[in-house]
Structure 1
Amino acid sequence: MPQTIVLIGYGAIAAEVCKALSRDAEIRIAQVLVRPGRQAALQAALPSGIQAISSLDDLHPDTDFVLECAGHDAVRQFGPDVLRGGVDFGVLSAGALADDAGLDRLRRASQTGAAQLILVSGAIGGIDALAAAGDRLDKVTYLSRKPPLSWRGSPAETTHNLACITAPTVLFTGTAREAALTFPKNANVVATVALAGIGFDATEVTLMADPDATGNTHRIKATGPLFDLDYATQGAALPANPKTSALTAYSAVRALRHRGIGVVI
C-alpha cells in the first residue's frame, strides 16, 4: 500500500519532489499545504491527483508523513501539531531548530504523539558519518563557499557589495547557532551539521563568497581521538531557485522513498 505524503509549501523543492515521484508506485503525494488565500491558485498548478489545502484540519486521514518545504516559520507553525497527531514530520529547514525553545516543543510533541521528527540531510553529504562519530568528536568546522550573487537576500548584502566581489571573501564567522539564525535562507546545512555533530554552540562556521565558485560547496572537517573526517559536497542549484541546491530536493525524494521500501541504506 502506498505511503500517503503531505508537503508543506510548493516552491522549487516541492515541485521537484512531485516531479521525481510522479510515477513511484510506493509513494502517493496526496496534498500540499499552503497559506490561506493561495489554495485556489495552487490547485490550478498542481499535478492531477494532488489536493491543495490551507489548514491542518483538512489533512488527509491516512497521512503517513508530512514534509516541510516552506521555511523556518512552517516548521514552528505546523511541526508540533503534526507530531502530536501521531504523524512523522520531515524537516528541510533545519535552521529553525537553532531556537532551543522551538526544538524542545518539537521534541515534546514527538513524545506525546509517538511520532518522529526527521531531519532530511539536504544539500550536504556525509551526515551519516558525522552523526555516527557524534559526541566522540572534539572539533567540527563547516565552510560554505558560494558565488557572490548567491548571497543576495541575506544579511551579507548590508555589509558587502556582492556584485563587486572579485576575490574570495569571508562574509561571516561564528558559531552554527549564530549562522543559522542570521542566515535563515542560506545556512540550513549549518544546523544539520550542528545537530549531527557537537551542537550549535561548539560548531565553528565560515560563510564565504567566491567569484570563482561554479556552484555551492559545503566542507566539513571533524576531528576526535578515533576520527578525522574531511569532506566536501559540491552541487548545482535547482534551475527554478538559484539559492537552493538540487541535492536538497533529491535528499527529500530519498527520504520519502525510504518510507515505502523494505531495504534502506
Structure 2
Amino acid sequence: MLAADAGMIGCAFTNTSPKLMPAPSGIKPVLGNNSVAYGAPAGKYGTFVLDMACTAAAVEKIVKAAERNEPIPKGWAYDEKGVETVDANEALKSLSLQSFGGYKTFHLSTVHEILTSVLAAGQLFAGASTGFRPYEHLLHDARNRCRDLPPARRIRGRDVGDDQHAEGRGERHLFCRRKIPGRTRPAQPRRRPCRQFHGRDPQRARQRHRPLALTKRSEIRRSRVARYTKIGVIGSGKIGGNILSHIHADGELKLTFVLDPVADPANWDGVPAEIFVTDAEAALERPVDLVIEAAMPKVLAELAPRFLQSAAFCGFSCTTFADPAIEQAVRGACEKSGHVFFVPHGAMLALDGIGDGRALLDNVTITPTKSGPSLRLDADASGLLFEGSTRNVNVHATIALAGIGFDKTVSRVIAAPGQETMEHHVEVSGTGLHWDLKISSRSLGGVTGAYTPHSAIGSIRRLLGGNGIVVA
C-alpha cells in the first residue's frame, strides 16, 4: 500500500508455518500457504490490491464447516492418506490442503519460500525436517545489510531531512523512480484518495496512506538491534523457566517453542499452549534464530549439532563437552553452518579474564563447598568427595572451556552438612599473575543458587544485543 500510494507497484511474499501443502502426488505437507500480495495505483479508482494464499481455501473455512457439520467442496483438502476429501473433520486431522492451481501454484509457492528466506533473512521452512539449508549462510548477512540501508529522504520531490547529496546525483531513495538525465515524463494528475476504502474525509485518507519515509523521526521507535528475534528454549526448570518468562515478556522477541516433555502449559500464564512441544522433531521444524538449552548434558549432545545447522545455540549443560567427540561434533556443525555455540557464564565470575589470559595460565582449581542436598547427596554427606580433572559440574566445565581445558582444570568437591550457601573458590595462577576468587550465593533448593537464574538472564540479554553503553 505504501508503494502504491507513492505511484509505484508493490509486491510482498511470505512463507508460513505450519506446513499445509504437500508436493504434487505427495502426502506429507512440506510448504505453508505462502501468501502473496500486490498493490498498484488505479487513478481515480483508488488502489488495486490483490492479497491471496496459495492454498485453495483457508483453514478457518474448514473449521467453520466442521463446526456446522457440513461437507467442504472438492479441491480443498486431503485426508491423512493423501486422498481428496470433503469431510471437514478429516481435513482438520491431516491439515493437508490443496493448492488452488495444482502443481503450478505449488511451484509458485516454492518461489515465495525461497524469496522470503533469502531476501528477508527468514527461515526456510521447507527444509526444516530434512536438513536442506542451501541458503542458511546468507540469512544473517542479508538481515544486516537491510538494517544498514539509509532511510528514505525524498518522495516525489518532497524533502524529508537533508538530501542535498541525493538531489545532486539525481537520485531518490525509497518509493521513487530514478531520474534519467535528458529524459522527462509528462506531468501526472494528483491522485485522490479512494472513498470506497476511507470514507469521505480526504485528509484522513491521506494520513492513513502517508508513506513511512514521511513519518517524523520522533514518531519512529528506535528499538534495540537484536541479532536474534525468534527464540526456542529447551527445558523449563529453574533456569529454563526464568529464561522462558523473560523472553515471553519481551515485546521484541518471539518465543517459537519450549521443548520439555514434562512441562505443563497451565503453569505459564499468557504463553500459548501450542508453544510447548514434547518431541524434538517438532521443535526442529519451528523457525528459530537462537536455541537456549537448560536441560541435561545428553540433550545438549543430541540436539546442539542438529539445531546448529540452521540457528545459533546457547547451552548451559556444558559438562557434555568433557567427551571430545561431542565437542568435535559441535565445532564441526558450527564450521559447516557458520552459526555459533554460546557458553553462558552460569553464575561463575571472571570467565572473560580467564579466556583473555589463557595463554599465560598454568593452573586452574575450582573448589565448591555445598550441603549434601545441593550436591544431590544425603544431608549428612561430609568432607572431600572428589578431586580430579573437571568432568561433572557445569560451571566448572565453563571455566575449562574458557581456560586451559578439561584435563588441566582441577575440581575439588566438598560437602558441608547444614551449609545454607553455595560457595565456589577459584584459584588461577600463571606467568605474572595469581587470582583468588570466592563466590557465594544462597541455595534455592537442589543444585541451583540464588544468583544462577539472574546470571542466565544476563547472558541471554548480552546475546540478544542492545544499544547504549555496553561493557565488553
Normalised by the length of structure 1, the TM-score is 0.82
Q: Deviations over 1:114-146 (max 9, x none)?
A: 110111110211111111111310111110110
Deviation at 1:62, TM superposition (A): 4.1
1:31 aligns with one of 257, 272, 281: 257
Partner of 1:206: 412
Q: CA deviation at 1:193?
A: 1.2
For 1:56 and 1:110, locate their aligned partners in 2 and report how far apart those are by CA, in whole Å.
Answer: 20
1:55 matched to 2:280? yes
Which amino acid letter does the alignment assign opposite residue 4 of structure 1? Answer: K
In structure 1, the residue matched to 2:436 is 230
Contact between 1:218 and 1:234, CA under 8 Å: does it hold in 2? yes
Superposition pairs of residues 165-244 of structure 1, within 5 angstroms? 165=381, 169-177=383-391, 180=392, 187-211=393-417, 213-238=419-444, 241-244=445-448
Q: Which amino acid in 2 is paired with 1:105?
A: A
Q: How big is the shift at 1:22? A: 4.3
Partner residue, 2:365: 141
The answer on whether the counterparts of 1:220 and 1:232 sit within 8 Å (CA) in structure 2 is yes
AA partner of residue 73 (structure 1): K
Once the two structures are TM-superposed, the CA of residue 202 in structure 1 deviates from its matched residue by: 0.8
Residues 164 and 28 of structure 1, relative CA distance in 2, 3 Å threshold: same
- Out of 219-228 and 42-51, give the one that drifted further: 42-51
Match of 1:184 in 2: none
Q: CA deviation at 1:60?
A: 6.6
Retained in 1: the 8 A contact 2:316–2:343?
yes
- Against the structure 1 CA distance between its residues 128 and 147, is the aligned structure 2 distance closer, same or farther, given a 3 Å change threshold? same
Distance 1:221 1:232 in 2: 9
Superposed counterparts of 1:5-154, under 5 Å: 5-35=231-261, 38=262, 42-50=264-272, 51-53=275-277, 54-59=279-284, 62-85=287-310, 87-152=311-376
Q: Report which of the two structures shows the higher radius of gyration computed on alpha carbons.
A: 2
Cα distance in 2 between the residues matched to 1:215 and 1:231 = 16
| Aligned 8 A contact 2:230 2:290 in 1 | yes
Give the conservation status (yes or no) of the 8 Å contact 2:379–2:417: no
1:191 positional shift: 0.6
Q: TM-score, normalised by structure 2?
A: 0.48
Report deviation, 1:194: 1.0
User: Match of 1:164, SS?
Assistant: coil
For the aligned residues, what is the CA RMSD?
A: 2.2
Give the paired residue count: 240
- 2:466 corresponding residue in structure 1: 261
**What is the aligned partner in structure 1 of residue 451 from structure 2?**
247
Shift of 1:163: 3.2
Segments of 5+ residues of structure 1 without an aligned counterpart are 181-186
More strand by share: 1
Q: Could you say if the C-alpha distance between residues 212 and 33 of structure 1 is closer, same or farther in structure 2, counting changes exceeding 3 Å?
A: closer
SS of residue paired to 1:246: coil
**Is the 8 Å Cα contact of residues 420 and 443 (structure 2) preserved in structure 1?**
no
Which letter maps to 1:6?
G
Change (3 A) 1:58 1:68: closer
Corresponding residue number in structure 2 for 1:183: none
- Amino acid paired to 2:265: Q
For 1:208 and 1:123, locate their aligned partners in 2 and report how far apart those are by CA, in whole Å. Answer: 18
Q: Distance in 1 between matches of 2:410 and 2:302?
A: 29
The answer to whether the 8 Å contact 1:27/1:256 transfers is: no
**What residue ranges of structure 2 are gaps of 5+ in the alignment?**
1-224
Q: Distance in 2 between matches of 1:237 and 1:30?
A: 31
- What secondary structure is seen at the aligned counterpart in 2 of 1:77? helix
The answer to whether the 8 A contact 1:176-1:205 is kept is yes
Cα deviations across residues 202-260 of structure 1 (Å, max 9, x unaligned)? 1111000113632111111111113211112111233xx42112333222211221213
CA contact (8 A) 1:124 1:247 kept: no
